[in-house]
Each structure stands twice: as structure tokens, then as C-alpha cells.
Amino acid sequence: MQINRRDFVKLTGVSLGLGLGLANASLSAFARATKPPIGRVVIIGGGYAGATAAKYLRLWSLGAIEVIVVEAHQQFVSCPLSNLVLGGSKSINDLTFGYDALKANHGIQWVHDTVTAVDPDAKKITMLRGDLSYDRLIVAPGVDFIYDDLPMLASAEAQQQIPHAWKAGWQTVNLRKQLEAMPEGGVFVMNVPKAPYRCPPGPYERVCQVASYLKAHKPRSKIIVLDANAEIISKKGLFIKAWANLYPGIVDYRPDSTVTNVDVATKTVTTDFDKVSADVLNIIPPQQAGKIAKIANLTEKDYPWCEANFLTYESKLVKNVHVLGDSVAAGLPKSAHMATNQAKVCANAIVQLMAGLAPDSAPVFANTCYSFVTDKTAMHVANVYRYDAAKKIMISAEGGGVSSAPSDKEGEYAASWAQNIWTDVLT
Amino acid sequence: MKKIITMIGLATLLITSVARATEVFVLSANPSHIHVLAASCATCHGTNGNGVDQTKPLAGIGKTDFLTKMLAFKSGERKATVMHRHAKGLNAQEIEGLAAYFSAQIPRQPSALPSQVLNKNHAN
Ligand SMILES: Cc1cc2nc3c(=O)[nH]c(=O)nc-3n(C[C@H](O)[C@H](O)[C@H](O)COP(=O)(O)OP(=O)(O)OC[C@H]3O[C@@H](n4cnc5c(N)ncnc54)[C@H](O)[C@@H]3O)c2cc1C
């Protein structure tokens, strides 16, 4: 006896309605034991979006969909909270996790490799070690940097001198070490790339964290912030107040300042109006969808993000290929919380499509980005987003907004957010 | 073969009866609407409402208790750091659907995910 498509529809058709916490263990064990699966989903990238999609595809299909994740790294290192490594209240080892629990708990197949090509006609991907076929593909590669205007920063050697630290890992540790080695009275220079980029409030949170370290250890030092945007693009009033109240005299913020040139040897930065020299320099290059998205033709010429259908996250350009996370052109904040929500909507849609049902026509989810202004004080921006059938996009619902002021209470909730999102995504 | 068929029968029966009891399927045009929305709460409240800290558990919460709390967040009657923003964006049907969903979850205490030492050869 094999579970066929009709049985599966019958099983999920009922159980999907009531939350699978109820679907009893024998049922999922039954579904898991039956072969063959009703379809195979291959996922490129085991970051916030890809790992979440893998888990919920297995959960919501009661194990009837085969899921294979291809991830280039052996470990998951969280960007959220990584600015606190610069401030000194977290270590990179607090933010590093393995994939073993996720794989084992949900029967997810895992390949440690890099995807180099996608063939949508043959429905297969190419990895360094060989090919893999799929029924549906999820592309969730995060962001890549654009070095066209800053070619001098493209090499690993240059990034050793001038890290971006915008993908958490050794570059984060490197930047922290450079701060520790900086002389008292030194100048830390960082930029904010032109939006959209990963994590709108992230650069301004970084300013707070570096300022917090300097205030405690090198109070005569300064931070120069070169923002390519016309103004602070998230939690503007709150950040301005935090810098003025908590870090007076430390933060020198300069809007409309696109970095046009960098001298790596002298750590000198040029903008249209300025030339500044740094003791420690952090350049966050402008961003685009992860490289594999472009290789797979999920982006159009001259626009580096992937257009998707917000009911299924299927690419508007390539059939049976879904895009998730930072790579999506959404007009919504590129955040970990958003990446996991998109992944859940997509996983549900794929389960329904494979079961021959129509996906939810009106998805709703929320985003919250917490920012730490000190080692333990945080503030939020939060919005609920609802699908607008006429416009075919997710739009902000009533009630969104930012904290009235940062607080220690929200610092505790932000820390709890991190623990819960890690556990939701990785177990 | 026979055994497996019996298992399907049993499982379906069980699920159908629970579904009747919770009446989730009448609350939304597409039944998956609520469980996907509920999953979006996991970021702060844990998978199926079982958070790693016990500060605001949702799994197994009484339906009335849930409704009272959500409506108080929505109206602004209960002061909150962030929940008012989440409650205000949801409609009455969704809040009822979530009440049924979370009240039907089994309370558990998941442990926080242990962290690791970053590998020397990690690429970033
Ligand atoms: C400093 C900083 C602070 C942040 N703080 C927050 C915060 O507080 N809250 C919040 O919600 N968000 C925050 N973010 C944003 C958040 O990190 C991103 O939005 C999130 O990581 C996006 O998830 P993703 O799955 O799209 O990409 P990622 O998490 O980057 O995952 C992509 C994965 O794909 C893999 N991959 C890419 N290409 C390939 C390939 N060809 N083959 C195989 N594998 C591949 C990569 O190795 C990676 O693991 C922050 C970001 C930064 C930089």
C-alpha cells in the first residue's frame, strides 16, 4: 500500500484546517513510512528562509514531500544580534548553530555544497558534486554584494583590511578586533548603502553598538557615518535621539554620502563631497539577490531583485521555481522575521499545490525588527502585512509603528525573539 | 495492507472529530490561512506557541483567555510593548481562528538551541 495523491489530499485536506499539532504521531509516522513521496522540493540555501521552508514543508505535508536542502556552509551564523559582537556583549559563538536537530527532527535531506546552475526545462540543479532533479525548486540564497563601483573591495585580502561584516562570521570578529586595537581618539568610519539592502535598521543599530563600545573604552573617539540615502531610513527619530542622548559627541552622521572610492592601504574614503580617513573602516557594499538567482534567470536586466507571486512565492519569470528571503523584490523590509514568514506562506502553498488544492488567497503575516541601542536596551518597528488582491502585493495593515522609546523590557523581549526564532527555524 | 488502511481510517476519524470539536474550518475560506498565520507568531512565541522561555506561552491557552487578551491588545486597553501592533492588524475572524488553534496545541517546554564554536574554515 502506497500513499497516493488522493489519500494525501484526504489526509491534509482535513488536518490542514486545525493545526498540525493535533495530527497525531501515528499519522505522521504513517505518512513518513510510506513511499514514494508525492513530490520533491529542492531548496538552495539553508539560511532563515530556506531552513524554515524545509521544516514547514515536512511538517505540513506530514512528511509526504521529500525535501533536500543544499547549503554552502556547515554552520548557521545569525546576522540578527551580530552587531552586539561589535559592542562586546555577545560573542560570535553565541550566534553559531548546527543543522543536526533540524535535519533529524524532520527527516530533511541535506547536502553541504554550492549550487552553480539551474536548468528549469530539465528541472534540475547543478552542484559542485553533480546534478539533482526537482519537482519544485526554492531559491533562498540571501544577498550578494555589488562591487561594480567599488572593485578595490572585492578581494578577500581587501576585506581583511576593510570588512563588510554584513554576513555574520569571521568578518564580524575581525571588525571587533580592529575596534579593540583602535587607539583612543581614533576615528571609526562606516557607510550605509543605498536602499534596498538587508536589514533597514541594521546599520544604525551598528552605529549604536560601536558607540557603546567607544563610550566605555575610548571616549574621545568618533564615528563618521556616510549614508548613501537622503536620511536615516528606519526608526529615524529614535536613532537620532539615541545618538544624542546616549552617545553625545560621538556620532557624526552625514546623509546623501555615497561612497565612490576607497583607498584600501590608507583607509581613505571618497564621497561626492568629502574625503575622510579612518582608523577602522567598515564598508557595506550595495546589495543584490544572491548570485544563483541571477544565474537562474530569476532577475531581469537592470534590476537585481527577484519578482515573485506573493501567494506562492513562485518566480514571475521561471515556472516551478520559488524565491524567498532577502532575494525577493518585495518593497518590504529584508529581515529574518520576514524571510521566515515568506517561507511559511510558500511551504503551505507548495503543500496545497502538490495536493491539488488552491493556495490561500489572502495571506497575512507580521514583521518586527528589534534594534539594540545599548547592550541591553532595545526598540522595535512592527507591522502586519496583508495581501491586497487588487494590487497583488503585501501591504501594511492598521496599527504598525515603532516603540515610543527604547527600553530594557524590550531588550529582554528582543533577546527572547532571537532564542525563539532560532529554535523555530533550526529544530 | 489491511493494517495500514485501518490506520488511515483511524487517523481520519480522529482528525475529523477534533476538527468538528474545534470548528476551525468554518472560520476561514481557506483552512490553511489560520495555521500559517499562527506559524508567524512562532518567531516570538515558539513553534505552535511553545516558547523557549515561559514568559508568554500560547500553547493550550484557554480560548476565552486568548480572546480577552487579544481584544484588549487590539483596543489598546492592555498596555503592551509590541502586541498591540500585531493584534490591531488582524480581523475578528482571524483572532477567533487563532484562539481555536492555540487552545488546541499541547503545552511543551522546548529547550533553547545550544550554540557552537564557529569553525575556523567558515567562509564569511
Ligand atoms: C548586522 C545585521 C543585523 C540584522 N539584524 C536583524 C534583526 O535583528 N532582525 C531581523 O529580522 N533581521 C535582521 N537582519 C537581516 C537578516 O539577517 C536577513 O534578512 C536574513 O538573514 C535573510 O534570510 P535569507 O534566508 O534570505 O538569507 P540568509 O540567512 O543569508 O541565508 C542564505 C543562505 O544561502 C546559502 N547560499 C547562498 N547561495 C548558495 C548557493 N549557490 N549554494 C548553496 N547555498 C547557498 C548561504 O550560505 C546562506 O546560508 C540583520 C542582518 C544584518 C547583516
Which pLDDT belongs to residue A287?
Answer: 97
Same domain, A32 and A137: yes
A285, A317, A346 - which closes a domain: A285
Residue written as cell 562570521?
A169
pLDDT digits (tens, 9 = 90+) for B80-120: 999 999 999 999 999 999 999 999 999 999 988 999 999 99
pLDDT digits (tens, 9 = 90+) for A332-349: 899 999 999 999 999 999
**Is 90 exceeded by the pLDDT of residue A7?**
no
Helices and strands per DSSP (H, E), number in chain A: 12, 25
* Residue A47 burial (C-beta neighbours within 10 Å; 0-12, 13-18, 19+): buried
* pTM metric for this prediction: 0.92
pLDDT digits (tens, 9 = 90+) for A33-58: 555 789 999 999 999 999 999 999 99
Cβ neighbours of B66 in A, within 8 Å: none
Same domain, A128 and A30: yes
Same domain, A31 and A106: yes
CATH code of residue A300: 3.50.50.60
**Is 70 exceeded by the pLDDT of residue A264?**
yes
A317, A345, A360 - which closes a domain: A360
Ligand 1 atom with the shortest distance to the CA of A47? 31
Distance, CA of A15 to CA of A355 (rounded, Å): 13
Q: Does A26 touch chain B (CB under 8 A)?
A: yes
Mutate to test the pocket of ligand 1, among A112, A198, A291, A327 (most ligand atoms within 8 A of CB): A198
**Is 90 exceeded by the pLDDT of residue A71?**
yes
A96: nearest CB among B35, B94, B115: B115
Which pLDDT belongs to residue A34?
Answer: 53
Q: What is the ipTM of this complex?
A: 0.89
Q: What is the residue range of A174's domain? A: 151-285
Q: Do A170 and B122 touch (CB under 8 A)?
A: yes
Domains of chain B and any CATH numbers: 31-104 (1.10.760.10)
Same domain, A264 and A335: no
Within a domain: residue A388? no
A227, A257, A285 - which closes a domain: A285
Distance from CA of A103 to the nearest CA of B (A): 14
Within a domain: residue A397? no
Within a domain: residue A418? no
**Is 50 exceeded by the pLDDT of residue A274?**
yes
Q: What angle, 0 to 180 degrees and rounded to 10, lies between the N-to-C axes of helices B92-103 and B63-75?
A: 140
Same domain, A127 and A174: no
Mutate to test the pocket of ligand 1, among A71, A74, A79 (most ligand atoms within 8 A of CB): A79
How many domains would you assign to chain A? Answer: 2
Distance, CA of A183 to CA of A175 (rounded, Å): 14
Q: Do B40 and A361 touch (CB under 8 A)?
A: no
> Hey, what's the cell of A113?
555544497
Within a domain: residue A309? yes
> Binning pLDDT at 50, 70 and 90, where does residue B53 land?
confident
Distance, CA of A54 to CA of B85 (rounded, Å): 29
pLDDT digits (tens, 9 = 90+) for A364-388: 999 999 999 999 999 999 999 999 9
Q: How far away, in angstroms, is A79 Cα from ligand 1 center?
A: 7
Q: Does A204 touch chain B (CB under 8 A)?
A: no
> Binning pLDDT at 50, 70 and 90, where does residue A400 land?
very high
Among A21-25, A242-246, B26-30, name the most confident range.
Answer: A242-246
Which pLDDT belongs to residue A330?
Answer: 80
Ligand 1 atom with the shortest distance to the CA of A327? 26
Which pLDDT belongs to residue B30?
Answer: 72
Q: Does A112 touch chain B (CB under 8 A)?
A: no
What region does A323 belong to: left with phi over 0, alpha with psi -120 to 50, or beta? beta
Distance, CA of A287 to CA of B58 (rounded, Å): 38
Within a domain: residue A387? no
Within a domain: residue A34? yes
Same domain, A135 and A80: yes
Angle A123-A129-A132 from CA coordinates, rounded to 5° = 20
pLDDT digits (tens, 9 = 90+) for A196-205: 999 999 999 9
Q: How far away, in angstroms, is A136 Cα from ligand 1 center?
A: 22
Same domain, A321 and A276: no
**Is 90 exceeded by the pLDDT of residue A26?**
no
